């Protein structure tokens, strides 16, 4: 019922490197990066929020769009870096033996 993992004899684990440091810093970096990306839009709302002019409304709306685009791009980049770090982390682990897969149409049966 449970899956059995067979380590490859002689395989070793590599020591942790920069990927663990980056993975630990990603949440804080996401928080600060998001705050920095949203700051100009918040500043525009505070500075020009009382005005009812269509030009000001359009400028504030444009600042919101730029902030949303910046945050989306930043999070996509962080997700890419995070996936890269997880892949490196998995690849530094021990090697495992894969299960055999007998081909049903092989020329010589075993």
* Residue-level pLDDT at 110: 55
* Residue-level pLDDT at 24: 95
Q: How far is CA 100 from CA 9, 65, 70, 91, in A?
A: 17, 53, 48, 21
* Residue-level pLDDT at 95: 79
C-alpha to C-alpha distance for 17 and 58, rounded to whole angstroms:
48
* Residue-level pLDDT at 3: 57
Classify the phi-psi angles of 10: left when phi > 0, otherwise alpha if psi is within -120 to 50, otherwise beta.
left
pLDDT tens, per residue, the chain with 110 residues: 445 677 777 777 788 889 999 999 999 999 999 999 999 999 988 888 778 888 888 988 999 999 999 999 999 999 999 999 999 998 888 877 777 777 777 666 55
């Amino acid at each position: 019922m449970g899956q059995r993992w067979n380590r490859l004899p002689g395989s070793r684990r590599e020591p942790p490197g920069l990927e663990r440091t980056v993975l630990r810093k990603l949440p804080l970096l996401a928080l600060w990066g998001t705050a920095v990306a949203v700051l100009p839009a918040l500043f525009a709302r505070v500075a020009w929020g009382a005005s009812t002019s269509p030009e000001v409304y359009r400028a504030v709306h444009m600042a919101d769009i730029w902030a949303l685009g910046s945050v989306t791009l930043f999070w996509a980049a962080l997700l890419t870096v995070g996936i890269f770090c997880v892949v490196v982390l998995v690849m530094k682990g021990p090697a495992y033996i894969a299960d055999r897969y007998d081909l049903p149409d092989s020329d010589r049966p075993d």
